[in-house]
A and B are shown apart, each in its own frame.
Chain A
Amino acid sequence: MAHDDSSGKDLAATSSGLDGASTGTAVATTDAGHAEADGGLAVIATDTFANPGLPATRHRATDLDPKKARTAQRAVYTLFYISIAGSIFALAAYMAFPITDDLASVRLNSVFLGLGITLALMGIGLGAVHWAKSLMSDEEGEDIRHPVRGTEATRTAAVQIFDEANKESGFGRRTLIRNSLIGALVAFPLPAVILFRGLAPEYNNPAALLETTMWKTGTRLTLDPSGLPVKAADVTIGSAFHIIPEGLNDTPDRLEQKAKAAVLLMRVNVADLKISPGRETWNYDGIVAYSKICTHVGCPVALFEQQTHHLLCPCHQSTFDVNNECEVIFGPAKRALPQLPITVDSEGYLIAQSDFTEPVGPSFWERS
Chain B
Amino acid sequence: MARKPAKANRRHPLATVVLIAIGLAFTGGGYALFTSTATAQTDTASSTSQSSVDEGKKLFAANCATCHGMSLEGSTAGPALLGVGAASVDFQVGTGRMPLAMQGPQAMEKPPQFTEEQTQALADYVASLSPGPAIPTDDQLTANGNATNGGELFRINCAMCHNVAGAGGALTEGKFAPSLTGVDSKYIYEAMLTGPQNMPVFNDHNITPEDKRDIITYLKYIQNNDSTGGYDLGNLGPVAEGLFIWIFGIGAVVALTVWLTAKSN
Contacts and interface: CB of A to CB of B under 8 A. Distances in A.
B195 interface: yes
A138 B199 contact: no
B203 A236 contact: yes
B171 interface: yes
Given A107-B228, A133-B264, A239 B172 contact: no
B144 interface: no
Interface stretch (B108-116, B153-161, B180-188): B153-161
Interface in A156-196: none
B99 interface: no
Interface centre among A62, A234, A242 (most CB of B within 10 A): A242
Contacts of B201: 236-240, 306
A302 B171 CA distance: 11
A305 B172 contact: yes
**Range class of the A interface residue count:** 35 or more
Contacts of A62: 264
Nearest to B195: A238
Interface centre among A223, A231, A300, A317 (most CB of B within 10 A): A223
Given A60-B264, A103-B228, A305-B172, A300 B160 contact: yes
B3 interface: no
B36 interface: no
Given A60-B264, A236-B203, A238-B201, 16 more contacts: A58-B263, A104-B225, A104-B228, A111-B230, A134-B264, A224-B156, A225-B153, A239-B202, A300-B160, A302-B160, A303-B177, A305-B171, A305-B172, A306-B201, A308-B173, A310-B172
B200 interface: yes
Interface string A287-316: 000000000000010111111101010100
A266 interface: yes
8 contacts: A58-B263, A60-B264, A239-B201, A242-B156, A303-B171, A305-B175, A308-B173, A330-B172
Interface in A97-112: 103-104, 106-107, 110-111
A303 B171 CA distance: 8
A266 B200 contact: yes
B230 A138 contact: no
A61 interface: yes
A241 interface: yes
Contacts, number: 91
B205 A234 contact: yes
A58 B201 CA distance: 75
Interface residues of B, number: 33
A255 to B, nearest CB: 14
A323 interface: no
Contacts of A239: 195, 200-203, 206
Contacts of A210: none
Nearest to B169: A314
Interface in B50-64: none
B196 to A, nearest CB: 10
Interface of B: 152-153, 156-157, 160-161, 169, 171-173, 175, 177, 195, 197-203, 205-206, 225-230, 259-260, 263-265
A129 B160 contact: no
A213 interface: no
Contacts of B227: 107
In the A-B complex, the 3 residue pairs with the closest CB atoms: A234-B205, A240-B200, A305-B198
A302 B158 CA distance: 9
A61 B197 CA distance: 70
B156 A238 contact: no
Contact of B199 (A60, A134, A306): A306
A40 B177 CA distance: 82
Contacts of A23: none
Contacts of B263: 58, 60, 133, 138
Contacts of A84: none
A308 B198 contact: yes
B206 A61 contact: no
A259 interface: no
Contacts of A308: 172-173, 198
A304 B200 contact: yes
Nearest to B152: A225
Contact of A303 (B156, B160, B197): B160
A219 interface: no
Contacts of A134: 264
Given A234-B206, A304-B200, A319-B172, A242 B157 contact: yes
Contacts of B200: 238-240, 266, 304, 306
Contacts of A300: 160
A60 B263 CA distance: 8
